[in-house]
Amino acid sequence: MDQIDDILNQDLDPTETREWVESLNAVINHDGTERAHFLLERMVDSTRRSGGYLPFDPTTEYVNTIPPHMEARSPGNAAIEWRIRSLIRWNALATVVRANRKPGDLGGHISSFASSATLYDVGFNHFWRAPSAEHPGDLVFHQGHSAPGVYARSFLEGRITEEQLDLFRMEVEGKGKGLSSYPHPYLMPDYWQVPTVSMGLGPIQAIYQAQFWKYLEHRGLIPKSDRKIWCFMGDGESDEPESLGAISLAGREGLDNLIFVINCNLQRLDGPVRGNGKIIQELEGVFRGAGWNAIKVAWGSYWDPLLARDTTGKLRQLMMETVDGEYQACKAFGGAYTREKFFGKYPETAALVANMSDDDIWRLNRGGHDPHKVYAAYHAAVNTKGMPTVVLAKTVKGYGMGAAGESQNPAHNQKKMDTDAIRAFRDRFNIPIPDDKLEEVPYYHPGKDSEEVQYMLERRRALGGSLPQRRRKSDQSFTAPSLEAFEQITKGTGEREISTTMALVRGMNLMLRDKELGPRLVPIVADEARTFGMEGMFRQIGIYAPFGQKYRPQDADQLLYYREDQKGQVLQEGISEAGGMSAWLAAATSYSISNVAMLPFFIYYSMFGFQRIGDLCWAAGDMRARGFLIGGTAGRTTLNGEGLQHEDGHSHLLSGAIPNVISYDPTFSYELAVILQDGTRRMMQEQEDVYYYITVMNENYAHPDLPKGSEEGIVKGMYLFKDGGKAKKNETRVQLLGSGTILREVIAAAELLEKDFGVSSDIWSVPSFSEVRREGFDAERWNRLHPEATQRVPYITGLLGERQGPAIAATDYVREFADQVRAFMPDGMRYTVLGTDGYGRSDSRANLRSHFEVDRYWIAHAALAALAKDGKVNAKDVSRAIKEYKLDVDKPNPLYA
């Protein structure tokens, strides 16, 4: 940077410089700025060609990007809008302060919204369209901590009652009327559309939403429109890798339906965001470099005359030199301080404010608090073509809170205000609350017929209705294909060996053939389509490319060539699981956000799913996403050669923790078919707000036919795969349970037990230990609450109730996974769980299964050990198994190995 500054700041011949600048000004006046820009680019090109080193300077002066004479003027009534904004500010503050006076330590935030009130108001009053017959509606990602301000607006609009404001953060007591702490569609399904409070998730989702809207347009699923996505975020939030990690995609794909508004109040939770630098400049450089249109809104209108009088350029220089920590101090300490420490630095700048009072200096506002500047920026943003826009608005954290928080380091968590601070706030915003009522901090509503409310309502009517609002169901439902349509994968494969991954791809292909549903499928990959054998889809349905394929692909003469297409159906998101997941989220919530139900499949390495992008998966539940997440190459020992970082033995524990995720670990292709069919029915036909996590494996083996009548059990998560028949008297019997590929080891263990020890088995396939556990606890809870009613029998208890012997479960997941159902084992039935606890490593599947003690021998041995404990066989039999199966009893526990 120093080098750039040196080069740019050296002036060998100021007179010559002035002449050039004058010529340029002449061009600007005569032919406009675009012509001037053209000439400059030509000159830069010419210098470069002569070998000149021209460093790229990604930033511009520290002033507003839009000069005053280019500002679009707001058609609104500025005075009424100020009144409305003040009322909203007051009610937001009252909501939080009152909540904090209640028992329960409810918390809440004032200072984030205090800094962004104008940024929201201008949007609500003039830009954001609700869905209506005329328009599909914009989508706004609100900064999570600004929620009280959004509620306060809805209160004035009459959508939220005073009683509800008093139930802020009291969603249990509120029984459906409470207001959630932050935007949560799960808890307020008619209101919030997107959850944002986990920093970074809003911005990355917004980018992929914008991409997905273009995708829907290109594929002809929605008409082209000028609808926009507005994403608000904090300047501190921009440090999250998710916030900025995908911005180059938006630039590359020219997402002009996307607008970021970054509330640059220069502070985060603990203190300054860039005390020793300037966050706005930094972000400007980053976004411009990524192909965005960056609009800085640093200074409010009161600065315009000063800047106009800054003929020496000293004020601009000072603005550039001053760091954010100092800017923050100016707002904290007031006009006199600012005169001395800021303007006082140079005689020229001191002179500029010599005739102004300290109060006048204090009133020199920041751009983000000036509705005119904000309007102009938004106006430019919505009219920008071919690129996304970021509005970098400079604001004051805790604006209006005075000594109670304004520009103070601890402002973020300030939620209590004493009566003096509240009085000052009331006076500053002119709220008609009498002194004797101040103590209560009452809400203030000017009445439905007041000028303010009428104005607000008229504005919202003109923009299609109130916001936020969320659609619960899409108008169109789809009939899921019947199970017969999946015949190719419900039928056994005979001798042929395939993996469940291949079965899944076949299943998707069968669904793609469905005339109605097929076009709604959205296959999503993060550069792993070949890993999962999906490359056939490249040619067949094409890879989405917003500008089409501009080159002849290297493999063009092959059948399955790499075909990119503007109408492509596959979303290839490159090596970004967060990107793939965000795209999936956009598709999975399209039923709500665009009234176009889609059925996304995101297929990824299971290890890089819930573990790596778990917070997005959690947000997916919050958003009531519907779709399939497919954890490929799953299982700690099934993905054999890849080793510790790749071998997943726990993603099911993570997915199982998300309430509306239905998880399965199927073994056979027919199980997968039943799950796909049922999932499609629930999500696309019944429009249930659930999503599916299915693990599929890359081990090839033969698959049997769908056993008659097993469909219901598969869906419930457990069914009898092989009945050992009616147990004879004195027969030794075990119950063997398993899922995924390890079920095959379980089946083999049953043969060993029969052959070597005369022990017979009933074999249970348990495609979802997680669902079986949920049902079990649900029944148990119900029974506890209804002690005198006929008691419910948990599903698994019922299945195993009449059966004999100890039960042994083995899976390719950690023990906890199969252990989930322990509580529901019939009384007296011993339960042993084998699993793959410990770090994975690379080796053959056989060696890994031996290492983790989940192969047929270890399972047979565990069964005998359990039988011995039950007194059904002797300890000697167990020793014989150890010897015959060559089990190393001294090997370390794989958990610690």
Ligand X SMILES: Cc1ncc(C[n+]2csc(CCOP(=O)(O)OP(=O)(O)O)c2C)c(N)n1
Nearer to Mg ion, 236 or 838 (CB): 236
Smallest separation (angstroms) from ligand X to the CB of 150: 14
Mapped onto helix, strand or coil, the DSSP state of residue 626 is coil
Nearer to ligand X, 122 or 273 (CB): 273
CA-wise closest residue to 592 among 685, 680, 470, 692? 470
b/e code 241-262 from CB counts within 10 Å (16+ = b): ebbbbbbbbbbebbbbbbbbbb
Question: Is position 234 an interface residue for Mg ion (rule: CB under 5 A)?
Answer: yes
Nearer to Mg ion, 197 or 543 (CB): 197
First to last CA, the chain: 50
Smallest separation (angstroms) from ligand X to the CB of 268: 4
Q: Residue 792: left if φ>0, alpha if ψ -120 to 50, beta else—which one?
A: beta
Smallest separation (angstroms) from ligand X to the CB of 428: 20
Smallest separation (angstroms) from ligand X to the CB of 68: 27
Single out the residue of 137, 144, 236, 291 in contact with Mg ion (rule: CB under 5 A).
236
Q: Residue 798: left if φ>0, alpha if ψ -120 to 50, beta else—which one?
A: alpha
Give me the half-sphere count of Cα atoms (radius 13 Å) on the Cβ side of residue 723.
8
Cα–Cα distance measured from residue 74 to residue 85, given in angstroms and rounded to the nearest whole number: 16
Give me the half-sphere count of Cα atoms (radius 13 Å) on the Cβ side of residue 408.
16
DSSP letters, 447-472, are -TTSHHHHHHHHHHHHTTS-SS---S
Smallest separation (angstroms) from Mg ion to the CB of 268: 5
| Binding partner of residue 237 among Mg ion, ligand X, none, CB cut-off 5 to 8 Å per kind | ligand X
| Binding partner of residue 207 among Mg ion, ligand X, none, CB cut-off 5 to 8 Å per kind | none
Cα–Cα distance measured from residue 95 to residue 74, given in angstroms and rounded to the nearest whole number: 30
Give me the half-sphere count of Cα atoms (radius 13 Å) on the Cβ side of residue 143.
28
Nearer to ligand X, 265 or 663 (CB): 265
Question: Is position 146 an interface residue for Mg ion (rule: CB under 5 A)?
Answer: no
Nearer to Mg ion, 396 or 868 (CB): 396
Give me the half-sphere count of Cα atoms (radius 13 Å) on the Cβ side of residue 16.
4
Q: Which range of residues in 131-139, 241-249, 265-273, 421-429 is near Mg ion by CB under 5 A?
A: 265-273
Nearer to ligand X, 136 or 234 (CB): 234
CB 596 within 8 A of CB 537: no
Cα–Cα distance measured from residue 575 to residue 277, given in angstroms and rounded to the nearest whole number: 32
CA distances from 315 to 15, 297, 327, 870 (A): 21, 17, 14, 88
Nearer to ligand X, 235 or 564 (CB): 235
| Binding partner of residue 269 among Mg ion, ligand X, none, CB cut-off 5 to 8 Å per kind | ligand X
CA distances from 474 to 25, 437, 470, 594, 617 (A): 55, 47, 11, 8, 22
Nearer to ligand X, 197 or 489 (CB): 197
Which residues in the 266-295 window bind Mg ion by CB under 5 A? 267
Give the residue carrying structure tokens 């209804």: 786
Nearer to ligand X, 96 or 863 (CB): 96
Question: Is position 235 an interface residue for Mg ion (rule: CB under 5 A)?
Answer: yes
Smallest separation (angstroms) from ligand X to the CB of 232: 9
Question: Is position 509 an interface residue for Mg ion (rule: CB under 5 A)?
Answer: no
Token digits of residue 235: 């300047």
| Binding partner of residue 774 among Mg ion, ligand X, none, CB cut-off 5 to 8 Å per kind | none
| Binding partner of residue 145 among Mg ion, ligand X, none, CB cut-off 5 to 8 Å per kind | ligand X
Number of residues that bind Mg ion (CB under 5 A): 5
| Binding partner of residue 112 among ligand X, Mg ion, none, CB cut-off 5 to 8 Å per kind | ligand X
Handedness of CA 326, 328, 332, 337 (dihedral sign): positive
Smallest separation (angstroms) from ligand X to the CB of 615: 7
Smallest separation (angstroms) from Mg ion to the CB of 179: 23
Laid out side by side, the sheet with 139-141 consists of 139-141, 229-234, 258-264, 389-394, 293-297
Smallest separation (angstroms) from ligand X to the CB of 722: 48
Cα–Cα distance measured from residue 258 to residue 139, given in angstroms and rounded to the nearest whole number: 10
Q: Which range of residues in 227-235, 410-418, 586-594, 857-865 is near Mg ion by CB under 5 A?
A: 227-235
Residue nearest to ligand X (CB): 234
Handedness of CA 277, 283, 285, 286 (dihedral sign): positive
Smallest separation (angstroms) from Mg ion to the CB of 413: 13
3-state helix, strand and coil shares in percent for the chain, rounded to the nearest 5 = 45, 10, 45
Nearer to ligand X, 263 or 589 (CB): 263
Smallest separation (angstroms) from ligand X to the CB of 642: 30
Nearer to ligand X, 267 or 365 (CB): 267
Single out the residue of 111, 211, 265, 490 in contact with Mg ion (rule: CB under 5 A).
265
Nearer to Mg ion, 235 or 648 (CB): 235
Smallest separation (angstroms) from ligand X to the CB of 216: 29
CB 860 within 8 A of CB 834: no
Cα–Cα distance measured from residue 396 to residue 393, given in angstroms and rounded to the nearest whole number: 10
Residues constituting the chain: 897
Q: Which range of residues in 264-272, 308-316, 358-366, 749-757 is near Mg ion by CB under 5 A?
A: 264-272
| Binding partner of residue 842 among ligand X, Mg ion, none, CB cut-off 5 to 8 Å per kind | none
Nearer to ligand X, 100 or 638 (CB): 100
CA-wise closest residue to 507 among 490, 523, 486? 486
| Binding partner of residue 412 among ligand X, Mg ion, none, CB cut-off 5 to 8 Å per kind | ligand X
Smallest separation (angstroms) from ligand X to the CB of 239: 8
Which residues in the 413-452 window bind Mg ion by CB under 5 A? none
Read off the amino acid at residue 31: D
Question: Is position 735 an interface residue for Mg ion (rule: CB under 5 A)?
Answer: no
Cα–Cα distance measured from residue 678 to residue 783, given in angstroms and rounded to the nearest whole number: 28
| Binding partner of residue 682 among Mg ion, ligand X, none, CB cut-off 5 to 8 Å per kind | none
Smallest separation (angstroms) from ligand X to the CB of 397: 5
| Binding partner of residue 198 among Mg ion, ligand X, none, CB cut-off 5 to 8 Å per kind | ligand X
Reduced 3-state DSSP string for 764-789: EECCCHHHHHHHHHHHHHHHHHCCCC
Smallest separation (angstroms) from Mg ion to the CB of 267: 5
Smallest separation (angstroms) from ligand X to the CB of 629: 21
CB 590 within 8 A of CB 194: no
Residue nearest to Mg ion (CB): 234
Angle made by CA atoms 409, 415, 421, in degrees to the nearest 5: 85
Nearer to Mg ion, 234 or 717 (CB): 234
Cα–Cα distance measured from residue 265 to residue 564, given in angstroms and rounded to the nearest whole number: 43
Nearer to ligand X, 265 or 328 (CB): 265
Q: Which residues bind ligand X (CB under 6 A)?
A: 112, 115, 143, 145, 197-199, 234-237, 263, 265, 267-269, 273, 397, 412
Nearer to ligand X, 514 or 615 (CB): 615
Residue 393 belongs to what H/E stretch? strand 389-394
Smallest separation (angstroms) from Mg ion to the CB of 237: 7
| Binding partner of residue 381 among ligand X, Mg ion, none, CB cut-off 5 to 8 Å per kind | none
Nearer to ligand X, 411 or 863 (CB): 411
Residue 204 belongs to what H/E stretch? helix 201-218
Q: Which residues bind Mg ion (CB under 5 A)?
A: 234-236, 265, 267
